[in-house]
Amino acid sequence: MSLVGCPRDCYDTCVLALDSTLRNVDGFLTSGPTCARAVADLKRVSSKNRIRYPVIAVDKELGLYRRITLDEAIDVLVSRVREIVDKYGADKILVVDYAGNRGVFTRLLPIRFWRLLGATFTDYNICDYSGSIGIGLHYGLDYGALPGSIYKARLIVYWGVNAAISNLHGFKMALEAKRIRGSMIATIDVRNTETIKSSDIRIIIRPGSDGVLALGLANYIIQNELYDKRFVEEYTYGFDQFREHVKKYDLGYVSRYTGLPRRLIEEFAYTYAKNKPSIVFIGYGLQRRYGGGEAVRAISLLPALVGVHRGFFYSNTSGLQLPFNQLTPPPARTIPQSMLAEYLEKGDFKLVFVFLTNPAATYPEAERIKYNLLRDDLFVVVHETHWSDTARLADLVIPAPTYLEKEDLVYSYWHNYLIYNKPLLPRPPESISELDLARRLADSLGINDDYLEDPWGKLAEDTNGLVERARQDRIVEIPYRRLDKYRTPSGKIEFYSQRALMQGYKPLPEPVAPRIPEGYLVLVSGSHPLYTHSQFEDVYGRIPSVAFISVQDAEQYGLGNNDLVEIFNEKGSVIMRARITNQIPQGIIFVYRSAWTLDNSRINKLVDPGRDSLGGAVYNSTLVQIRKVTRKTGSLQEAFSKVV
């Protein structure tokens, strides 16, 4: 049996076993069901959407390409890079990467090459950025509790996380804790999710009002003396200021603001204060909006009140005692990732190198990105395993092996295991791994670097042999930082953040009121069980073009189930199929992330590219209007031509 660590952008980072199928291995943390994506991975590897040889564009707009050899492809890339570096400077090269494969050899070392060259990067703000900064202000580093704490918790809170879909194996652990130990699950979401359905406390909150709820809970817990005085005294800083600050969040105000009954808020506050230890999973979904960073700050402080060291989970990478940070020296320049469209449009860059991400599908203003990737003055290079939306707009496409076809080291942002991957399947002969491509480029461009030349040797030195043990044993535990240590100026959890003051933020969390103008709805998106973002469409078909709309809104706009609905804002207009449901409150439209629309765009055409006050993307703050596509508009075709 051959083992492999799944390197996809997903909490679980499962260990899979490959024989005739790929399935979750027993005996590891992620044992249990195999997710629909891993089940389909072997099909995806050999799907007809696989890129098998390098191509160069003859006419991008017409989609005409010419097959070339791998050596030719690398020569073209080298000469383009050399020319740009000489003529304009390396910062005119933009590298756009994300977490399509999170392996050390696939992601970190290749990034290292481009950093050494001096290329511009994005700031990686599309996923969990604001929350990481926010938690850091109060805790120093943003790591939280490890998965094992689920089994110890008497209360597990899913706050803006649809774990039943996005963290399948963590959710399975929570259900086990509930069944075996009688632990409680509380979930807070803006709609009735798969996760809420299995929860003991179910809270459906107004979008963007989570920060106010958190401060209201804090106020209630303090006023009713339900907080842990000894813990607060010993481990926290700035409690008095915090207590004053939250006084204005009384139950009446919080209830009006969040749309929640007072009784429910009280019940939750009481349950939270009385059931220790607890763990709060703080979701990225709730954070990906204006005010999201402040909301995460507020939520993250609740465990400090009730006396649980880091009683939350957000992202655990900073807790791993691995010196992988030093593999990627800081970039010469960064641009906001969510604003890629605008930066491409400015014409700032001569070459864009895309790998491990599919911006033409998944980033805000996806259509504007597509349009700008077709510019004559921009050379677009995509290193990909599959014909992604972005690869289809490239000048040069270089095939990559999948994670089943190359050597790598994989780690998680949830658990603390390092997994060694050996190639298990033969790779397409004309593909090149990310590390090998970086090495070829470094050689040709005269960059000498020990890590690129001898990664195993250097990593063994840096990690005291941990990676060597991983290579032998396949899976090793990574030492994890202590939960009760805080790298803040005071060395304590700072309710009143001194770092925030130094960095120009407010020292105490201050939730921002969401502004929803009359006639607008909030477009909320979330994970789909069959896809990882835009991946697996070659196996499962396009991400469904459905928009979930409340019964009340359906009535107001005269929409019936399965009617065509036009969704629009100042960025444009798309058509989707309406699904009328009582699982969503009025004022919200729910779509699957990066869903296709019936008129052949992605929903991200409409998504707001702005940034939260802490810098993160704001997908879930997108405002849209809707109207029914009427019979009068005639055939689908005509309906589309009308809105295009």
CA angle (432 as vertex; 13, 121 as ends), nearest 5: 65
- Candidates 14, 135, 161, 305; binder of ligand MGD (CB under 6 A) is 161
Reference 528, options 93, 267, 239, 164; nearest CA is 164
Instruction: Indicate whether 11 belongs to the interface with ligand MGD (CB under 6 A).
Output: yes
d(C-alpha 107, C-alpha 90), whole Å: 20
d(C-alpha 425, C-alpha 42), whole Å: 10
| Angle at which helices 262-274 and 210-223 cross, to 10° | 60
Stretch that binds Mo ion, among 127-135, 224-232, 467-475, 486-494 (CB under 5 A): 127-135
Residues contacting 297, CB < 8 A, separation 6+: 134, 135, 137, 138, 211, 509
Site string (205-224) toward ligand MGD, x via CB under 6 A? x-xx-x--------------
- Candidates 106, 125, 412, 601; binder of ligand MGD (CB under 6 A) is 106
SS3 per-residue string spanning 520-576 = CEEEEEECCCCCECCECHHHHCCCCCEEEEEHHHHHHHCCCCCCEEEEEECCEEEEE
Could you tell me the CA-to-CA distances from 72 to 50, 55, 405 in Å, in that order?
A: 20, 10, 23
Nearest distance in Å: CB 191, ligand MGD: 5
- Candidates 108, 260, 280, 286; binder of ligand MGD (CB under 6 A) is 286
- Beta strand 623-628 with 588-592 is unpaired
- Beta strand 564-569 with 623-628 is antiparallel
Nearest distance in Å: CB 122, ligand MGD: 11
Q: Pick between residue 3 and residue 165 the one whose CB is nearest to ligand MGD.
A: 165
d(C-alpha 237, C-alpha 232), whole Å: 8
Stretch that binds ligand MGD, among 58-66, 79-87, 283-291, 498-506 (CB under 6 A): 283-291
Stretch that binds Mo ion, among 123-131, 135-143, 447-455, 569-577 (CB under 5 A): 123-131
- Candidates 2, 3, 9, 623; binder of ligand MGD (CB under 6 A) is 9
Stretch that binds ligand MGD, among 15-23, 201-209, 223-231, 237-245 (CB under 6 A): 201-209
Residues contacting 606, CB < 8 A, separation 6+: 523, 567, 568, 569, 571, 572, 573, 574, 622, 624
Instruction: Indicate whether 621 belongs to the interface with ligand MGD (CB under 6 A).
Output: no
The answer to whether 522 and 513 are in contact (CB under 8 A) is no
Q: Which of residues 419-478 bind ligand MGD (CB under 6 A)?
A: 434
Stretch that binds Mo ion, among 124-132, 167-175, 536-544, 635-643 (CB under 5 A): 124-132
Instruction: Indicate whether 533 belongs to the interface with ligand MGD (CB under 6 A).
Output: yes
Reference 109, options 101, 11, 470; nearest CA is 101
Q: Pick between residue 237 and residue 257 the one whose CB is nearest to ligand MGD.
A: 257
- Beta strand 521-526 with 588-592 is parallel
Q: Which does 96 bind (CB under 5 to 8 A by kind): ligand MGD, Mo ion, none?
A: none
Q: Which does 440 bind (CB under 5 to 8 A by kind): Mo ion, ligand MGD, none?
A: none
Instruction: Indicate whether 127 belongs to the interface with Mo ion (CB under 5 A).
Output: yes
Does residue 387 sit in helix, strand or coil? Answer: coil
Residue nearest Mo ion, CB atom distance = 127
Nearest distance in Å: CB 31, Mo ion: 24
Number of residues lying near ligand MGD (CB under 6 A): 62
- List residues near ligand MGD by CB under 6 A: 9-11, 98-101, 106, 126-127, 160-162, 165-166, 188-191, 193, 205, 207-208, 210, 283-286, 288-289, 355-358, 361-362, 383-386, 388, 400, 402-403, 434, 524-527, 529, 531-535, 593-594, 603-604, 607, 619-620
